[in-house]
Structure 1
Amino acid sequence: MSDIAGETIPPEFWQGVQEFNQGQFYDCHDTLEAIWMQSGEPEKTFYQGVLQIAVALYHLSNQNSRGAMILLGEGMNRLRRYEPVYSGINVSSLIEESEDLLATLYDASIDRIAEMATQVRSLAEGGGGCDFPVPRIEGSGE
């Protein structure tokens, strides 16, 4: 386990971070949900915020832009109290990137949402990047 500034973060969290950054948002959901359910505060709310952003991206991959926007907002709001850095994670960067995606979704047409969904699905397959902002979980030194 990693212990930074008093928080004890299990190794499974870092597995979830890797899944998130590889575009495996459903797998990330499963990984983080398991530790979220067993956690106490302050970690519980932190995990839930990250989890909600992962699920938002999963919703986007299924062209559910409404669900994606709702969960992006909820996840960002939960994470704000952990800014700028929590347990080695650059929370401010994750929130900023999520805000950028939320703004992009807000202005996107139905056809654009379909294109974005295809690009998000390709991330998990090792495909190319997206032509819109996709949040990443970065360490505080990255």
Structure 2
Amino acid sequence: MNDYPAEWLQGIKEFKAGEYYACHDTLEALWMDAIDPDKKFYQGVLQIAVACYHIHNRNWRGAVILLGEGIGRLPYYQPVYAGIDVTQLIKDSRNLLTILQSIGTEGIGDFVDRLAEDASVLPSIVTIKYRS
């Protein structure tokens, strides 16, 4: 048995499944009721999920802004927090941000089309203590 809120576990499952909008809804409810240090952590993960949602909607600007904000909230929680590998999540998110910055707004359409074949460039949540 773990000590993580059910909403957090649900949000992890949704993130892993690429259900970023559902993850947003789940984690937003959790984030709004949380207190620090969890509150800032949930917000960082939530922002990365919303960035991935924006990518799929070809919203380059929204994705870049939210990736940057999400990454900026997470370093304090490294290496592991709430059962996930935060260091890996930050690394994946930074790699994605670098790609997005290099392709610019004009490249987002082609990038999204390529994601249909290979989504491995999207950040992943690697669970350490929690297994789905």
Q: What RMSD in Å do the two structures reach over aligned CA positions?
A: 2.0
Aligned to 1:86: 81
CA positional deviation for 1:129: 3.0
TM-score, with length taken from structure 1: 0.83
Aligned to 1:41: 36
Residue in structure 1 matching 2:128, options 119, 131, 140: 140
How many residues align? The count is 130
TM-score, with length taken from structure 2: 0.89
Residue in structure 2 matching 1:28, options 23, 32, 45: 23
Contact between 2:61 and 2:105, CA under 8 Å: does it hold in 1? no
Residue in structure 2 matching 1:96, options 91, 99, 105: 91
1:75 & 1:62 partners in 2: Cα distance? 18
Could you say what secondary structure the match of 1:2 adopts?
Answer: coil
Contact between 2:60 and 2:104, CA under 8 Å: does it hold in 1? no
Aligned to 1:125: none
**One-letter code of the match for 2:14?**
E
Correspondence list, 1:1-142, <5 A: 2-3=2-3, 9-110=4-105, 112-118=107-113, 122=116, 128-130=117-119, 133-140=121-128
Structure 1 spans left out of the alignment, 5+ residues: 4-8, 123-127
Q: Give the ranges of 4+ consecutive aligned residues of structure 1 lying more than 6 Å apart after TM superposition.
A: none
Structure 2 spans left out of the alignment, 5+ residues: none
What's the % identity of the aligned pairs?
A: 48
1:44 & 1:133 partners in 2: Cα distance? 27
Closer, same or farther: CA 110–40 of 1 in aligned 2, 3 Å: closer
Structure in which a larger fraction of residues adopt strand? 1
Could you say what secondary structure the match of 1:138 adopts?
Answer: coil
